[in-house]
Each structure stands twice: as C-alpha cells, then as structure tokens.
Amino acid sequence: MKAPFSAYLSGIKPGLQQLIRLLRPDYDYVSVLATDSKGLTVRISRHARSVGSETMTTERGVVVRVYRDGQYSEYALSCFDPARPEAAAAEIRQALDAQLALLAKTGVKPYPTPLLPDEPVTLFVEKETELLPEETDAKPLVDKLSALIDKMGEQSEELIECMASAQSTHVCKLFLTENRDMSQSYVYSEGSAAAVAMREGRNQIGYQSVSGLCGPELFDQLPAAGDKAVKTALELLDAGRIEPGEYEIIASPEVTGLIAHEAFGHGVEMDMFVKNRALGKEYIGKRVGSNRVTMHEGALCAENVTSYAFDDEGTLAGDVTEIENGILKTGICDALSALRLGIQPTGNGKRQNFAHKVYTRMTNTVFDSGTDSLEDMIASIEDGYLLEGMESGMEDPKHWGIQCIIKMGREIKHGKLTGKIVAPIIMTGYVPDLLGNISMLSPHREIFGAGGCGKGYKEWVKVSDGGPYLKTKARLG
C-alpha cells in the first residue's frame, strides 16, 4: 500500500501558504518546511522492556526560511496555529529583527549569498510499504522480540544479556514556497540484535542490524541477526590482540560502508568546500583511488533509511557519481552552499529535525561492486585480516586522515583463514592510500542503515552506506 500523507500537514497547509504570503512583502524569499513523522519503537532485553512511539526522526513542527539583504535566517516553531498565520508572521518578524538588532550592535557583517531560485515544482509522493508504524499492533512484535532474546540467551551460559530493538518511522514532510508545493510520505525501519558475553569479568558484545525502506515487516529478518550477534559475542571471548602494523585486509560490506562514509562521504560534503575545510575541493578531477574504485552517493542510488524524494530545502533527490574509476568527479551539496559555489545542489540538504539548520549531509553512500570472489580475495593474501563489524568512525576532511573502530579481524595466513580472531581493531590511515590500494571488489553488495551520523559531534541524521567486500592495505592497531 501507499504510505498515506499526513492529514495534519494537509490540514495546516492553507495556513502555511497564507504565512508565506504574509511574510513575502518583507522578504525576497520565504520557504516553509513542515514535518509530521510518527514512529514505533520496541526494545526488549532480559531485564528492561519498553514500547514507545519515539524514534530518532519522529517530529512535528515548522521551520520558516527567509532572505533579505543577502542574508538567510530561519525561525523554527513547534506550535503553528493554521487559523492565525498572522500571529506566527508577527512572531517571526519580531524574533528575527531582535537578532538583527544584536548583530548590528556587535558590528557583524553578513556572508553574502545570492537569492535562491524558486522555479515551480509540484510533487506528491507516497512510497510503498506493507505496514505503518503508527497502526501496527505492537503485541506480535513484542512477542517476536521476546522469543528472539530468549532463544539467543539459551545458546550459552556465558551470555549475560541479550537485546533486540525494532524501530519504524513514517516520515511526512511538506515543503512550500510561493511556487513550490512538495509533499512526501515514506516509511523506513531499522532493527538490531545484540548479545553480551562475559568470561572472567571481561565483556564482549556481538551486534547485528537490519534496515530498509519499508515498514515493520522488516523485523522478520531479526532472528537471523540474533544468531549472528550471539555467534560474534562468543567468538570475541576467544579473541586475541592484534600485533600492530600494516596489513593486507579484506573489508566486509559493513566495514566497506564505514570506509565509504568516512573517506569520501564527509570529505566531499560541499558546505565544507565553502569554508575551505575539505581537501577534496582541490582534488576534483584528480585521482584519489585505484581505477577499480567507483562510488555513488544520493537518496536515489539505493533504497534504504534515507531514500527520500526531496531534501529539506525542496531540492529533488539525486544520484551523484562521486568517484569514477578512481577519479574524484564531484561532491554533494545543499542549496545554499551550491549558490555560494556556483553549482547545482544535489539534494543533500538535511536537518536533524525541523528545529535544526540545514547542512550538506550524506544519504546512501556506496562503493560499486566488482567481479572478484571473496574466496579469491582470501587466497591472494599472505598475511592479513578479514575485517568484520563496525563500531564507529571519524574523518579529517582537511587532512584526509581516517579512524575506523572495527569489531574484529579474522586472521588470514598463506591464503587461508586460520580461525584466529583479533579484537578490537582500530584502523587508521591516509584516505588516498587506503583507496589507492584497493585491488579487488566482490560482486556481492550490502547496504546498512541502522546507525546515525553526526556533523562534528552534533546534528544527527539517518544515513546508510555499504558496498562489496574489498581488498586493500591498512594500518591496524
């Protein structure tokens, strides 16, 4: 079925259109983004169980963007009364004028930015889903997750805690200007299973996630995730420490996704180009990886948790080829940064929620597949590791340093997996070296979207990333 667009947003739309008309004489540009996203969350562990309607992206509110004298400003409010748009208009003018008075008092000069174009666009998108989170009876889901953690816990006495979570969000957004009327409704879901094992007072955690552009029907995949989480936790109890050094590695699709995200995800967010904060700006058209490396980014290049029809500035979703055969082609860009750089926006202007500013953000960031089998990759390695499971990552777009915390490595000696596991692993290095050494890629490709991504240490948004198994060299510790 189609995920139905929010009746609440449809109801306040005439009031918002009137608000735009009321503000327009005072400003050269006025846009409104209104959101109404509902969710379902079930978290089950041995000792704590809960059901909720809040997810990372549930929200209801309105943000108004205006432009005057080369300056953009915004006002976010959670209580918009569609019967009294004139009250909201007065409130917005008063608050923004008070800020301008402070800026004048302190002598702050604007960073001049051109006027956003406002070509007419009318769009109404309702994407397919089997179930809606707000209408799903939580009971079968609670029962399913409870049975799952019971089954997980039965597998070993060394398991001290098992956890399963399921979250589904029905996103509805309305974007309006004088000339644009854009509505979208879609459902995405994510779930995870985790197992904590303990031996001699030391804990290890196994974790596995699922995600997709679909409703709570996704959670049928959780039992398999639970089995993998338990297996990982128990394997980690026997893990040794790695001898630090440079190794040939095979990144599993999850680790490949982490590399994509940290290496040329953040590194080509073009609001960073505006601030001269990214080395990528100087490398457009130049080689940044081996000729086997092709990477895509965009809401349209995969179907996962952030595959929307338009972004939070009313720009249509895109599919950008960032790297083609090792050559950096372009980056991703929000609308204001595009104006400042004199390029077209790519549909990557995203907000944490209506109350937050737009930044250039990732959507789906994915390495293209290759033709090499995993078996051939393993056979080609004399001394190295197959890396599995991601913990976290951090990039340095100015310096192209990268840090990836990885769950575990499976030792490979003389072309064979030895059965020995090392954990945890910190992979560090220089992005062009890491990508430049990519020599094999598998046909198999997976995409992961269960996590969140921050800009610096804030502004959390949903992203997904992934790719195939890939072989390269990296420094491991």
Partner 1 sequence: MLDKIVALLKESGVHAWELSAVKERGWEFYFIRHELDQHRAKDLEYIQIRVYQLIEDGKFMGSASADLSPTATEAEAKKLIQDLAYRATLVKNKPYTLNPPRPGQPMEAPVDVAAIAEDFIRTMDALPETDTEDVNSYEIFVSDKVRRFLNSEGVDVTERYPDSMIEVVVNARKDGHEIELYRNFTSGSCDSEALKRDLSKAMAYGRDRLRTRPTPNLEKADVLFSGSDACSIYEYFVDRCDPAMIFRRMSDWTVGKPVAEELLGDKVNVFARRELPNSSRNQGFDSEGAPIRDCCIIQDGVVREILGRRMFSCYMGLENSFHPENIEVTGGTASEEELRNGPYLEAVEFSDFQVDEMTGDIFGEIRLGYWHDGETVTPVSGGSVSGSMFDFVKDMRMSREQAQYDTMRIPALTLLKNVTVTGAEG
Query: Which range, of 58-66, 295-303, 304-312, 444-452, touches partner 1 by CB under 8 A?
Result: 58-66
Question: Which residues ranging from 226 to 265 are in contact with partner 1 (CB under 8 A)?
Answer: 241, 244-245
Question: Which residues ranging from 297 to 326 are in contact with partner 1 (CB under 8 A)?
Answer: none
- Kindly report the backbone phi and psi dihedral angles of residue 288, in degrees, each rounded to the nearest multiple of 5, phi listed first: -125, 0
| Closer Cβ to partner 1, 160 or 300, answer by number | 160
Q: Shortest gap between Cβ of 275 and partner 1 (angstroms)?
A: 5
CB atoms within 10 A of CB 275: 13
Q: Shortest gap between Cβ of 54 and partner 1 (angstroms)?
A: 5
Q: Shortest gap between Cβ of 41 and partner 1 (angstroms)?
A: 9
DSSP assignment of 256-317 equals HHHHHHHHHTGGGBTHHHHTT--GGGGGTTSB-S-TT--EEESTTSS-STT--SB-TTSPBP
Instruction: Mark 132-161 with x for binding to partner 1 (rule: CB under 8 A) and - for no binding.
Output: ------xx--x-----------------xx
Q: Shortest gap between Cβ of 461 and partner 1 (angstroms)?
A: 16
d(CA 406, CA 387): 7
Query: Which range, of 92-100, 180-188, 208-216, 366-374, touches partner 1 by CB under 8 A?
Result: 92-100
Task: Based on the shown chain and the rule CB under 8 A, indicate whether residue 341 belongs to the binding site for partner 1.
Answer: no
As given in the structure block, the two tokens for residue 213 are 């552009």
d(CA 256, CA 386): 11
| Closer Cβ to partner 1, 76 or 374, answer by number | 76
SS3 280: helix
84, amino acid identity: R
Residue in 403, 415, 446, 473 binding partner 1, rule: CB under 8 A: 403
Task: Based on the shown chain and the rule CB under 8 A, indicate whether residue 392 belongs to the binding site for partner 1.
Answer: yes
Q: Are 129 and 187 in contact (CB under 8 A)?
A: yes
Question: Which residues ranging from 417 to 436 are in contact with partner 1 (CB under 8 A)?
Answer: 424, 426, 428
Q: Shortest gap between Cβ of 49 and partner 1 (angstroms)?
A: 4
Give 327's strand partners.
287, 324
CA nearest to 302, candidates 323, 316, 321, 319: 319
Question: Which residues ranging from 349 to 388 are in contact with partner 1 (CB under 8 A)?
Answer: 355, 357
CA nearest to 474, candidates 204, 282, 256, 279: 256
Q: Shortest gap between Cβ of 331 and partner 1 (angstroms)?
A: 17
Query: Which range, of 16-24, 218-226, 437-445, 452-460, touches partner 1 by CB under 8 A?
Result: 452-460
SS3 95: helix
Task: Based on the shown chain and the rule CB under 8 A, indicate whether residue 284 belongs to the binding site for partner 1.
Answer: no
Size, binding site for partner 1 by CB under 8 A? 82
Residue in 47, 120, 285, 414 binding partner 1, rule: CB under 8 A: 47
Query: Which range, of 24-32, 305-313, 395-403, 413-421, touches partner 1 by CB under 8 A?
Result: 395-403
Residues for the chain: how many in total? 477
Task: Based on the shown chain and the rule CB under 8 A, indicate whether residue 475 belongs to the binding site for partner 1.
Answer: yes
d(CA 280, CA 262): 13
Query: Which range, of 99-107, 314-322, 327-335, 440-448, touches partner 1 by CB under 8 A?
Result: 99-107
SS3 200: coil
The residue with tokens 């509805």 is 172
d(CA 394, CA 406): 12
Q: Shortest gap between Cβ of 85 and partner 1 (angstroms)?
A: 14
Q: Shortest gap between Cβ of 272 and partner 1 (angstroms)?
A: 10
| Closer Cβ to partner 1, 4 or 415, answer by number | 4
User: Could you give the maximum distance between any two Cα atoms of the chain, in Å?
Assistant: 74
Q: Shortest gap between Cβ of 233 and partner 1 (angstroms)?
A: 11
DSSP assignment of 225-270 equals HHHHHHHHHHHHHT-B----EEEEEEE-HHHHHHHHHHHHTGGGBT
- Which residues make Cβ contacts (< 8 Å) with residue 231, sequence separation at least 6? 206
